[in-house]
Amino acid sequence: MGSLPRRVCLLSVHTSPLEQPGTGDAGGMNVYVAETARRMAERGIAVEVFTRATSSELAPVVEMAPGVRVRNVAAGPYEGLAKNDLPSQLCAFTAGVLRTEARHEPGYFDLIHSHYWLSGQVGWLARDRWGVPLVHTAHTLARVKNAALADGDEPEPMVRVIGEDQVVAEADRLVANTAEEYRELVELYSADPRRTVTVPPGVDLERFCTGDRAAARAAFDLPLDAVVLTFVGRIQPLKAPDVLLRAAAELLERDPALRERLIVVVVGGPSGSGLAEPKALQELAQTLGITDIVRFLPPQGGSALVDVYRAADVVAVPSHNESFGLVALEAQACGTPVVAAAVGGLPVAVADGVSGLLVPGHRSEQWADALAAVALAPERRAQLSLGAVKHANSFSWDRTVDRLLDTYADAAAEFRARQSEGVS
């Protein structure tokens, strides 16, 4: 590996690493940016994260961790701006980023790493202005999402598809979370395989670990003998929390006596197209006749999120698409098996039959079968719990950062070689 960069610019236009994941546009990408930034700073790399300011009360610069600055760039109205409206503010955001860098000596940043296509658009322009390489992580892809839309979900607009095409063509390195995403970039976006690498995300193994299950249940007033099925994530059609509710209703139809013990915990807030009907999930629970067994909790942070995972018998990840699925890793690190949809990166995040089960579809009957096979079978659940911890331990943010820094070094070396040859 080459020398470490001195200073890295991370771009995260539409969501800040300071925000609580699980609501609005905050999710796994926030965790990814925050965790990798912290670990790069621990290795002596100065990191600056540029994100769009969403409140007038935010300080222009916030020190997120030693060596990590978050810059809140004013671009458009602070509140009430949907993600699909953000392309109109990219000029203002880019101007803010370039203005900040211009206050320093030339060569202030050694490299740009953009997250999501909006950031890639900004990164592409900054790369050309600063003369440094651009590394890009898509996190989700419009063509992939549009091929697996949930009922009632809106397709991604063409402006995003075109924007992704442009970023893929311009980036010096593309970082895919899984081999499947690598394939999608190459086949659906004509990405150059030589400039595309696979770097799996990680999990904070010090924070997410096994612990006192009884104490975790007591923290949320959950009976020790309850059968607890849990969903953690943003409440939107893409994440498909409705699948868990329908499966729970199916389980009760099969065994009405289970109602005395079954509890479904939904942790998260409305997001994306789910904002249009913020109470849709509660209304579905009422329609299904299971309001008495469903508990809705706001997004949880810190030790509370760890307790959410530890308290569950099963964590369900029924998404219609996931570039990876950090919730699945976090839950497994806490010793909780995961039942997940066999889509996107989830077959990597979950080892089918070892750390949990993968479901090839979203039908209630399929999900009821899978959930019952884990939650209602203590011996099987105990076996999967051991496998879950072992599987999660094969991922870590330090390993992710190792691979990212290798990627940065390769991108920088190739960029310098092209410059010396006079090739754009």
In a shared domain, residues 173 and 226: no
Known binder of ligand: residue 407? Answer: no
Sheet with strand 356-359: strands edge to edge:
294-297, 262-267, 227-232, 314-317, 338-341, 356-359
Known binder of ligand: residue 40? Answer: no
Residue 1 lies in a domain: no
pLDDT level of residue 274 (50, 70, 90 thresholds): very low
The parent domain of residue 269 ranges over 213-393
Distance CA 28, CA 201 (A): 10
Known binder of ligand: residue 83? Answer: yes
Residues above pLDDT 90, as percent of the chain: 82
In a shared domain, residues 115 and 169: yes
In a shared domain, residues 261 and 377: yes
CA angle at residue 393 from 136 to 329, to 5 degrees?
60
Bridge partners (DSSP) of residue 352 are: 356
In a shared domain, residues 389 and 409: no
Residue 174 lies in a domain: yes
Known binder of ligand: residue 89? Answer: no
Q: Which of 188-192, 255-259, 275-279, 363-367 bottoms out in mean pLDDT, i.e. has the lowest?
A: 275-279
Q: CATH number for the domain including 413?
A: 3.40.50.2000
Known binder of ligand: residue 309? Answer: yes
Known binder of ligand: residue 233? Answer: no
Q: What is the pLDDT of residues 211-257, one digit of tens each?
A: 999 999 999 999 999 999 999 999 989 899 999 999 999 999 999 99
In a shared domain, residues 264 and 411: no
pLDDT at position 85: 83
pLDDT level of residue 9 (50, 70, 90 thresholds): very high
In a shared domain, residues 129 and 39: yes
Known binder of ligand: residue 20? Answer: yes
CB proximity list for 84: less than 8 A, separation 6 or greater: 157
Known binder of ligand: residue 234? Answer: yes
Known binder of ligand: residue 400? Answer: no
Residue 64 lies in a domain: yes
In a shared domain, residues 355 and 287: yes
Give the pLDDT mean for 125-137.
97
Known binder of ligand: residue 310? Answer: yes
pLDDT at position 366: 97
Residue 207 lies in a domain: no
Residue 293 lies in a domain: yes
In a shared domain, residues 179 and 282: no
pLDDT level of residue 2 (50, 70, 90 thresholds): low
In a shared domain, residues 195 and 268: no
pLDDT at residue 205 is higher than 50: yes
Average pLDDT, whole number, for the chain? 93
**Cβ-contact 329, 349 below 8 angstroms:** yes
Known binder of ligand: residue 32? Answer: no
In a shared domain, residues 194 and 70: yes
Known binder of ligand: residue 196? Answer: no
**Cβ-contact 363, 351 below 8 angstroms:** no
Known binder of ligand: residue 1? Answer: no
Q: What is the pLDDT of residues 256-266, one digit of tens each?
A: 999 999 999 99
Torsion, Cα 177 183 186 188, to 10 degrees, reads -100
What is this structure's pTM? 0.92
pLDDT at position 278: 66
Residue 208 lies in a domain: no
Residue 2 lies in a domain: no
Known binder of ligand: residue 25? Answer: yes
pLDDT at residue 402 is higher than 60: yes
Give the pLDDT mean for 280-308.
95
CB proximity list for 305: less than 8 A, separation 6 or greater: 232, 267, 330
What is the domain count for the chain? 2
In a shared domain, residues 166 and 218: no
Residue 109 lies in a domain: yes
In a shared domain, residues 241 and 103: no
Known binder of ligand: residue 391? Answer: no
